Structure 1
């Protein structure tokens, strides 16, 4: 039975899954060991639902850095960063991000979501137009709404439609294009070389959310913009520490002018405390790990991803057009998707469950999060069980 698109029906569906004890959402993690977790419902699940793509959250150096930061600075910062500042760790993270990427300036936020909201809401106002891919992350749309700018969208990766909107918006003070570098539900990339070329032709700004790509892809591990060789031609790069970097927090890479504007004017920065010292300590250690181990970790991730996607495609799975470590397994019907997820957990595997409104109605899917820490045997165990699930549930 497909979900209806009105909020009341959506809520009723999620409640029905809870009443039927079928809901895969909000599992309680009791403990973890290497690539497995224990939950309130299952003793041991092989984790294939995580966004910890390089496995850095389990790196001993990050754990030790977090503990050391607590000893140095306590468990919290004093007040809003505007008035009481942040620690030396926070400033060192910004300095290292700037030097690592070659961007003029970097500013750290408490989360990737607050960074994305700040980017758009600070860059645009009611005299502007924000032009977004329809599959961009919800936080970019939230920032657009706060900005007061007119919002226009184009079909996913349609450069023809993007150019038409740019041409039609010449009367606006500023045109801001916002896209994800790597799309979190489909696993494909924005054609950033084409987007940047159009932006330069029509005098537009470009904001790219690299949440799922920074640290993980590109010749230097700097995300989708690194793959397309356009990092120095993008106005704002938004990133997060909560995925490839194994920590928590967000950041924006931009010009010095925009950085000062964000630091004084973005409410999600000025009215929020900085990340806890433990988080900052782990983040700084993760940046160090990316410099020393990043290439090796990315190579291993690419090998695991190729192994899983090749075997799943050979078995007839619909993986959309993924070209990355995000592997969507499309099932379609939402109830069937939930049944498959529960069956996988009963057989020792945890994956992420994507149903409406996170993906369109009728396109329910599993999102497989491949990690560089997975062994070949673990990847094969995943494939074998997905093949069994496909046969059992006929998708």
Structure 2
């Protein structure tokens, strides 16, 4: 009953924001011109709210790849992949991903959420324990519960608590550690160097969701595991095309035996169609761009991130422990967070407001998504607008 009451109160809060004309949620984008989107009634806004970290979603090569794929294969992929398979483009994407990951088996899913949910629910069973970081993505928790395994959690990035749970779970068939590589609301990394050490010590499997880091983090752009040099020690790497790659879809990089199990046994794969040919065409073009331009794009992303993070910290903003292109600007109350996000749109800036239940109550924040495509002038305009908002709303 308490949960139902909380949800009812929450729904009233969201409805109140809508009625006051203050809600920043579900904006309708009329057009997109690079880093600028048109959203009525605000007009043209500089986009600092997306996950398009390398700006590839607007790249001509991805658009051409999508159009070419439609001309070759139409708009649909017929039926479930188990029965009707997928196109040659999908097959090539899996081959490309496998090569990028040093020969690890690759399998495509229709979305990042289905990849996360399907991987964990297939890997674990009632004889196992799944150990989640408390801030891990909701889809990982969904997969954990669907598996029927015992589900344990540890405080965010607490290696001491993780080790205690591993030590106390010696009677389980499998101990499976599940974390994000880069946390989407805080901008910090999982300490995968230490996590893989504990996994080896306690004979545990590791699952890492690199949704916000694949393509944008690490010397090869393969994510936080690549950053720490432990990619070969991760049993299941989950990724998505909907962020850095500028397309849609999910994928898993894993051992050969588990890749076959996913293809035949995971409902989120066997009961789903493959991504549309247009989507696959854009994804393949994106992967090929990363091969030739990825290093340069990541360097520009790092420069923009450093500029914004340094200047905002100097101005007294609380950015938590971010070390990435996800820059959380902590505001505080839900009402104030929403008001600031709405106010920024009147200053031609759009950021992503995160409030309860997506972050803890009273820790509302504006998530700034930095892109390599942002110009120095656009970064300065963001900094100025946020500084003015801080003065206006006193946070």
**Normalising by the residue count of structure 2, what TM-score does the alignment of the two structures yield?**
0.98
Q: Which residue of 2 aligns with 1:39?
A: 39
Write the deviation string for residues 184-236 of structure 1: whole angstroms up to 9, x where unpaired. Answer: 00000000010011011101000000000000010111000000000011100
Q: Which residue of 1 aligns with 2:234?
A: 234
Shift, 1:22, TM fit: 1.0
Q: Which residue of 2 aligns with 1:301?
A: 301
C-alpha distance in 2 between matches for 1:227 and 1:80: 36
Segments of structure 1 that go 5 or more residues without pairing to the other structure are none
Shift, 1:8, TM fit: 1.1
3-state DSSP of counterpart to 1:44: strand
**What are the residue-to-residue correspondences of 1:232-311 with 2, within 5 Å?**
232-311=232-311
Q: 1:165 to 1:255 in 2, by over 3 A?
A: same
CA contact under 8 A between 1:56 and 1:244: conserved in structure 2?
Answer: yes
Q: Which residue of 1 aligns with 2:127?
A: 127
3-state DSSP of counterpart to 1:30: strand
**What are the residue-to-residue correspondences of 1:346-385 with 2, within 5 Å?**
346-385=346-385
Write the deviation string for residues 154-210 of structure 1: whole angstroms up to 9, x where unpaired. Answer: 001000000000000000110000000000000000000100110111010000000
Q: Which residue of 2 aligns with 1:11?
A: 11
Shift, 1:361, TM fit: 0.2
Q: Which residue of 2 aligns with 1:223?
A: 223
3-state DSSP of counterpart to 1:367: strand
C-alpha distance in 1 between matches for 2:42 and 2:261: 48
Shift, 1:18, TM fit: 1.1
C-alpha distance in 1 between matches for 2:104 and 2:114: 21
Segments of structure 2 that go 5 or more residues without pairing to the other structure are none
C-alpha distance in 2 between matches for 1:168 and 1:5: 36
3-state DSSP of counterpart to 2:141: helix
CA contact under 8 A between 1:351 and 1:369: conserved in structure 2?
Answer: yes
Shift, 1:103, TM fit: 4.2
**Normalising by the residue count of structure 1, what TM-score does the alignment of the two structures yield?**
0.98
C-alpha distance in 1 between matches for 2:218 and 2:26: 33
1:141 aligns with 2:127: no
C-alpha distance in 2 between matches for 1:220 and 1:57: 20
Q: Which residue of 2 aligns with 1:183?
A: 183
C-alpha distance in 1 between matches for 2:8 and 2:103: 45
Moved over 4 A (4+): none
3-state DSSP of counterpart to 1:131: strand
Shift, 1:5, TM fit: 8.3
C-alpha distance in 2 between matches for 1:150 and 1:214: 29
C-alpha distance in 1 between matches for 2:173 and 2:185: 33
Number of residue pairs aligned between Structure 1 and Structure 2:
392
C-alpha distance in 2 between matches for 1:316 and 1:40: 32
C-alpha distance in 2 between matches for 1:370 and 1:353: 15
CA contact under 8 A between 1:136 and 1:179: conserved in structure 2?
Answer: yes
3-state DSSP of counterpart to 2:51: coil
Write the deviation string for residues 72-122 of structure 1: whole angstroms up to 9, x where unpaired. Answer: 000111001110111000000000000011142000000000000011001
CA contact under 8 A between 1:103 and 1:255: conserved in structure 2?
Answer: no
C-alpha distance in 1 between matches for 2:193 and 2:311: 31
C-alpha distance in 1 between matches for 2:301 and 2:224: 16
C-alpha distance in 2 between matches for 1:43 and 1:328: 25
Q: Which residue of 2 aligns with 1:345?
A: 345
3-state DSSP of counterpart to 2:43: coil
3-state DSSP of counterpart to 2:86: coil
Shift, 1:20, TM fit: 1.2
Q: Which residue of 1 aligns with 2:172?
A: 172
Shift, 1:41, TM fit: 2.1
Q: Which residue of 1 aligns with 2:211?
A: 211
